[in-house]
Amino acid sequence: MILSDIYKMGHVLNQGLLRMAQTWNCGGTTFIRYANEIFHYFGDPSMEMYTASPTKFTNATVSQSGTTFTVNTGGISGCTIAITSMDYGVSYFDVRHNVSSATFTNVTASCYVTITKHNYIPYSECSTPTFNFINQIVTTNTTITGCGDINVQNVKVQNGAKLILDAAGVVNIISDFEVVLGSEFEIK
**Can you give the pTM of this predicted structure?**
0.59
Q: When comparing pLDDT for 115 and 169, which is higher?
A: 115
| Average pLDDT value for residue range 152-177 | 92
| Average pLDDT value for residue range 45-54 | 83
Where does the pLDDT of residue 34 fall: very low under 50, low under 70, confident under 90, or very high at 90 and above?
low
Beta bridge partners of 71: 62, 102
pLDDT surpassing 80 at residue 21: no
| In the chain, where the domains are located | 3-38, 61-127, 130-187
pLDDT for 153: 92
pLDDT surpassing 80 at residue 30: no
Condensed to tens digits (0 to 9), the pLDDT of residues 71-116 reads 999 999 999 999 998 777 887 889 999 999 999 988 877 788 999 9
pLDDT surpassing 90 at residue 181: yes
Class of domain 61-127: mainly beta
Q: How many CB atoms lie within 10 A of CB 91?
A: 14
In the chain, % of residues over pLDDT 90: 46
pLDDT for 121: 93
Q: Which string of b and e fits 63-80 if b means at least 16 CB within 10 Å?
A: eeeeeebebbbeebeebb
pLDDT for 20: 64
The CA distance from 131 to 148, in Å, is 7
Where does the pLDDT of residue 66 fall: very low under 50, low under 70, confident under 90, or very high at 90 and above?
confident
Strand boundaries in the chain, DSSP class E: 61-65, 68-72, 79-85, 93-99, 101-104, 111-116, 123-127, 130-138, 142-146, 149-157, 162-167, 171-179, 184-187
- Are 161 and 182 contacting, i.e. CB atoms less than 8 angstroms apart? no
pLDDT surpassing 90 at residue 146: no
Condensed to tens digits (0 to 9), the pLDDT of residues 126-141 reads 876 677 888 999 999 9
pLDDT surpassing 70 at residue 35: no
